[in-house]
Structure 1
Amino acid sequence: MPQSSQIQPKKLGLTARIFIGMIAGIVIGALLQWSFDDSGDLSFSVFGLQVSTYGILVEGIFNVIGEIFVASLKMLVVPLVFVSLVCGTSSLSDPSKLGRLGGKSILLYLGTTAIAISLAVTFALIVAPGEGESLPSQATYEAKEAPSLGQVIINMMPTNPINAMAEGNMLQIIVFSVLFGIAMAMTGNTGKRLTNVFEDLSTVIMKLVTILMNLAPYGVFVLMAKMFATVDIDTIFKLLKYFFLVIFVLLLHAFVSYSVILKLLSGLNPLILFRKMRDAALFAFSTSSSSATLPITMETATKKLGVKSSVASFTVPLGSTINMDGTAIMQGVATVFIAQVYAVDLTLADYLMVILTATLASVGTAGVPGVGLIMLAMVLQQVNLPVEGIALIIGVDRLLDMTRTAVNVTGDCMVACIVGKSENEFDADVFNDTDAGIKDEEVDFKHLDKNS
């Protein structure tokens, strides 16, 4: 007797699973913080030994798994950028095309950053988040020194490519990869044989990205749980006006500015872009790192948005390094906030200096750890505001960093789409296909050892 067909329940998509993991992590983290006693811990006795809930869960399980997850993403960044850039550059038939790609990408990234900080300063002046705020008795912050723009340009040329890869110096990796790809394209048959090897490597690396994407819901869960178990709620309440103003301008820039720019310069539908950016944006929100999210951003740009690899392999890594729209918004609001708290009146020339400094600093501080606060220190120094004012906002910066990283990676893909469309290196059918790239996200872990 034939077996009756059973309707299989529809599997949850990757975006839904990541979102569930994020919400569950936020709830668990908040409950853990709420359940801690006045000392910030909840302990109990097991066989006569005092066991710390905070130590086991937050500093133990959540911290270890979360750090391993982020490290696994960062592990792919250098090989992904190097291999994909070499493949893309070696496939360019017109060497002048590379110059156009770079020029368009940098111009768009700097332009969106200027728009971002202009919006931030304008809304900060309207809302006035710092008025009526009291200055704490001890507000100190020691700013790291940022390199000059000239020094950054000099440092772009690697003296030791292997060392640049070991240190994750993205600008040096990009320069070396481009030069290596150009040399391959000029080497004839030898270069063609090597190109096949790099293309195979690229396929393997992207498959590894897919495997890690399927583990993302668990990584996102522990990252969110740790974050909301340790976040200082009191600090957020004290800076509520500043906090929500930054969030508002970030969302305004992402959904309005990017929509207008994408529609005007490419004619593409912004709603499709935002729908396909969900996975990358959630990754960015959870990790607070454009570099750690880079493998996912590359996957999104090429397989979901239809940007050809020859363009995406250049614009997306460059964007993860110099595109600081979200950070620029924080700087604009923070500068006005700090000026109002310290009762310093800034002139129109000062605000124009803030916009110019933050825009140029987005390139000048690329690859520097703690880039957001370093850039803010540079901006404050330009308009003679006390750098110590950074201590006023540093308590909520971690939460804001999550949102602005999501905005940054959205900007990276938006620019990749515009540049790809302008260079005829764009597949409109893939962009408009709602299912594009979805099948590639699924990995059957039970059959990884079999050829399929």
Structure 2
Amino acid sequence: MKKKLSLTSKIFIGILLGALFGIALKWLPSGTLKDSILLGGIIKIMGTGFINAIKMLVVPLVFVSLVCGASSMGDVKKLGRIGIKTMCFYLVTTAIAITLALGIGKLINPGLGLDMSSIVTTETVIAENKSLVDIILGIIPSNPIQAMASGEMLQIIAFALLVGVSISILGKKAEPVKILFESLNEVCMKMVGIIMLVAPYGVFALIANTFATVGFDAIWSLIKYMFAVLLALGIQGFIVYSGMVKSLSGLKLKPFLKKFANVAGVTFSTSSSSAALPLTIESMEELGVHNSVASFTLPLGATINMDGTAIMQGVACIFIAQIYGIDLGITQFLTIILTATLASVGTAGVPGVGMITLSMVLTSVGLPLEGIGLIMGVDRLLDMTRTTVNVMGDCACTLVVSKSEGELDLDMYYSKEENNIAKNA
């Protein structure tokens, strides 16, 4: 029986064929066939149609998934201090991650040298600079329906979180509403799955259009983009997380890093924090973390702690702004940080959702969504590392919280290290 190609394989094939087709079109003389039938017709329909399909899902998916995420956090209130510490750790590290990504993006400038401003098909509107007070007030929607209709992402996020928290506080009284939103979330996830079935064709068209217009210049910019993302992920994992474990808990890093290596093997190969969750919990308990902490912080982290995804979104915003010749001000940077941090609460572990949330962040600052075609072309290669960093953050939080609550068995944490010392003595 023939084995079916995975979606990842199909996207890679679409990238390769799109690049080859685009290069061939680059050398084809201008005329009706190239400009009207191919680039202005078939390629435009496939590429723009795919982008429009993604845009169609942004508002309903973000709103519904955030309501579901916030409404299921009843345990946070029950667990008191542990819940507060966990939420603070996750939100702070996500904000650090997106800020780090923006800084590295500006340092490396992955999009400079690649001009795609001539092929953008949607009007780009960058909001004027506002004061911090205006930015904060702008998060509160005076009309949530209007905010959804106009795609005001920060206002949509704020309203969704308020609805979700209210459902959580009401408990059984709001159970029917919670069930309704959970069903709607399943519908949204299925819609994402359906749209991702045509992703290889959409990516083919977008990549073909890029190479037909700008040629080989896109390759060097993509290499710089990938390097910037990987560099930010490395710093987040080995400096931010390791530094927080060391400074906040006083623990030695070696036992943690050695045990996490087993988890990293699973996250790197599956690109799924949910698939690695059983092993993650087991590994943390073997390090001496009490089950009452691990069984709360790790599943919650797998749901809302998406630092690796936030890093990708930050670098992607810089990259896309630069290739389209758009200058981002302090207001846009603050908006990106706020949007990506809050959006991490509702990011689901489903293939394709990362691109939907990226389009949400791009929309929040008025950047062209066409750039997603280039990002998607290499995103599968980065997804494995991104997922590993996400889970490393969950484990770091678990250690810090368990140590602060006195729920960490230090003898178990250092046992293997002590046994090795004894054997070598």
What pairs up with 1:226-305 in 2 under 5 angstroms? 239-303=222-286, 305=287
| Structure with greater contact order relative to length (CA < 8 Å, sep ≥ 6) | 2
Distance 1:329 1:433, change over 3 A: same
Tell me the distance in 1 between the aligned counterparts of 2:308 and 2:318: 16
In the alignment, which residue of structure 2 is the partner of 1:363?
345
- Code of the aligned partner of 1:280: V
Preserved CA contact (<8 Å) 1:276 1:300? yes
Q: 1:100 aligns with which of 81, 93, 96?
A: 81
Deviation at 1:151, TM superposition (A): 2.7
Distance 1:123 1:407, change over 3 A: same
**Alignment TM-score, normalising by the size of structure 2:** 0.59
Deviation at 1:264, TM superposition (A): 1.2
In the alignment, which residue of structure 2 is the partner of 1:338?
320
Distance 1:338 1:430, change over 3 A: same
1:393 maps onto 2:402 in alignment: no
Give the SS at the match of 2:274.
helix
Q: 1:150 aligns with which of 144, 152, 159?
A: 159
Tell me the distance in 1 between the aligned counterparts of 2:281 and 2:244: 21
Q: 2:105 aligns with which of 100, 124, 132?
A: 124
1:421 maps onto 2:399 in alignment: no
Tell me the distance in 2 between the aligned counterparts of 1:285 and 1:306: 24
- Code of the aligned partner of 1:127: I
In the alignment, which residue of structure 2 is the partner of 1:377?
359
Preserved CA contact (<8 Å) 1:149 1:364? no
Tell me the distance in 2 between the aligned counterparts of 1:379 and 1:422: 34
Deviation at 1:245, TM superposition (A): 1.2
In the alignment, which residue of structure 1 is the partner of 2:58?
none
Deviation at 1:353, TM superposition (A): 1.6
Number of residue pairs matched by the alignment: 283
**Which runs of 5 or more structure 2 residues have no equivalent in the other structure?**
1-8, 21-71, 123-147, 169-174, 187-215, 419-425
Tell me the distance in 2 between the aligned counterparts of 1:163 and 1:431: 43
Task: Please list the CA deviations of residues 49-70 of structure 1 after superposition, one character each: whole Å capped at 9, or x if unmatched.
Answer: xxxxxxxxxxxxxxxxxxxxxx
In the alignment, which residue of structure 2 is the partner of 1:55?
none
1:306 maps onto 2:288 in alignment: yes
In the alignment, which residue of structure 1 is the partner of 2:29?
none
In the alignment, which residue of structure 2 is the partner of 1:58?
none
- Code of the aligned partner of 1:289: S
CA RMSD in angstroms comes to: 3.6
Task: Please list the CA deviations of residues 302-359 of structure 1 after superposition, one character each: whole Å capped at 9, or x if unmatched.
Answer: 12x2110000000000000000110011011000000000100111221122112111
Deviation at 1:434, TM superposition (A): 2.5
Deviation at 1:239, TM superposition (A): 1.1
- Code of the aligned partner of 1:266: S
Preserved CA contact (<8 Å) 1:149 1:363? no
Tell me the distance in 1 between the aligned counterparts of 2:176 and 2:262: 37
Which stretches of structure 1, 4 residues or longer, exceed 3 Å deviation after superposition? 136-141, 144-150, 152-169, 234-238, 364-371
Distance 1:139 1:350, change over 3 A: closer
| Higher mean C-alpha deviation, range 350-359 or range 365-374 | 365-374
Percent identical residues: 50
Name the structure with the higher helix share.
Answer: 2
**Alignment TM-score, normalising by the size of structure 1:** 0.56
Preserved CA contact (<8 Å) 1:152 1:365? no
Preserved CA contact (<8 Å) 1:246 1:330? yes
Task: Please list the CA deviations of residues 202-230 of structure 1 after superposition, one character each: whole Å capped at 9, or x if unmatched.
Answer: xxxxxxxxxxxxxxxxxxxxxxxxxxxxx
Q: 2:336 aligns with which of 354, 376, 382?
A: 354
Tell me the distance in 1 between the aligned counterparts of 2:89 and 2:269: 26
Distance 1:307 1:397, change over 3 A: same
